């Protein structure tokens, strides 16, 4: 297995493990409290993290893990393991935070609904892959036999999510999808030069200063 495949296998395994916990009926109250993010429950911010690995429905899990495996490899190879994992978690948590804030801001027009799943992070990987390889083709879940270039697929999917917000669709967390895609695209375009490299440089400088003192 390549390094990317090993990393993705661990991430898939974590998601499958949490999915298995959802299947134990007596654990359901615990899972609802600690592995779903409720915008109205500000006393449990940890769910911004745990919900990124949480799926109750097998189809939801399968779709997200297929997306993770399909789009994660190229981004992993481009960034390396440490930076990939940092991006994956930042995108997932950032998507949840955006969904949290926007859900509260527009609570009068949309009901507050709990959310879970890796979709925000997967959208970040999708947009990152589209940035790196816009001419690559993908067959979307709802159009399985119709390949479309990622450079067109990404704006089409983001357009659907925008429509979902405007039309008040409730099936998906459209705020999280749009936020995840935006974070992933922004990071691949600017983050490595303006965020990661300065961060690593500062960490090395601090370590050097500590070792010399």
At 42, is the pLDDT very low, low, confident or very high (cuts 50, 70, 90)?
A: low
Q: What pLDDT does 140 receive?
A: 61
pTM: 0.89
> Looking up tokens 């390396």, which residue turns up?
80
* pLDDT tens, position by position, 119-161: 999 999 999 999 999 998 776 655 556 778 888 889 988 999 9
Give me the catalytic one of 103, 119, 127, 182. 119
Tokens (6 digits) for 73: 């490899």
Q: What pLDDT does 114 receive?
A: 86
**3-212 carries CATH number 3.40.50.300:** no
In the annotation, is 37 catalytic? no
Give me the catalytic one of 37, 55, 76, 177. 177
In the annotation, is 177 catalytic? yes
């Amino acid at each position: 297995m390549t390094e990317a495949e090993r990393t993705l296998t661990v991430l898939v395994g974590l998601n499958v493990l949490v999915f298995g916990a959802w299947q134990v009926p007596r654990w359901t109250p615990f899972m609802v409290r600690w592995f779903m993010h409720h915008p109205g429950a500000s006393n449990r911010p940890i769910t911004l993290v745990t919900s990124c690995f949480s799926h109750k429905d097998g189809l939801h899990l399968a779709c997200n893990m297929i997306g993770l495996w399909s789009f994660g490899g190229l981004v992993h190879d481009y960034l390396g393991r440490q930076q990939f994992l940092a991006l994956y978690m930042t995108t997932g948590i950032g998507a949840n935070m955006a969904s949290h804030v926007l859900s509260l801001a527009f609570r009068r027009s949309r009901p507050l609904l709990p959310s879970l799943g890796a979709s925000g992070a997967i959208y970040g990987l999708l947009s990152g892959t589209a940035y790196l390889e816009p001419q690559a083709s993908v067959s979307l879940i709802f159009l399985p036999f119709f390949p479309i270039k990622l450079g067109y697929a990404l704006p089409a999917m983001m357009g659907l999510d925008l429509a979902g917000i405007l039309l008040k669709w409730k099936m998906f967390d459209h705020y999280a999808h749009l936020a995840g895609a935006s974070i992933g695209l922004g990071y691949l375009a600017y983050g490595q030069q303006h965020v990661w490299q300065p961060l690593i440089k500062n960490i090395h400088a601090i370590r050097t200063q500590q070792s010399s003192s």
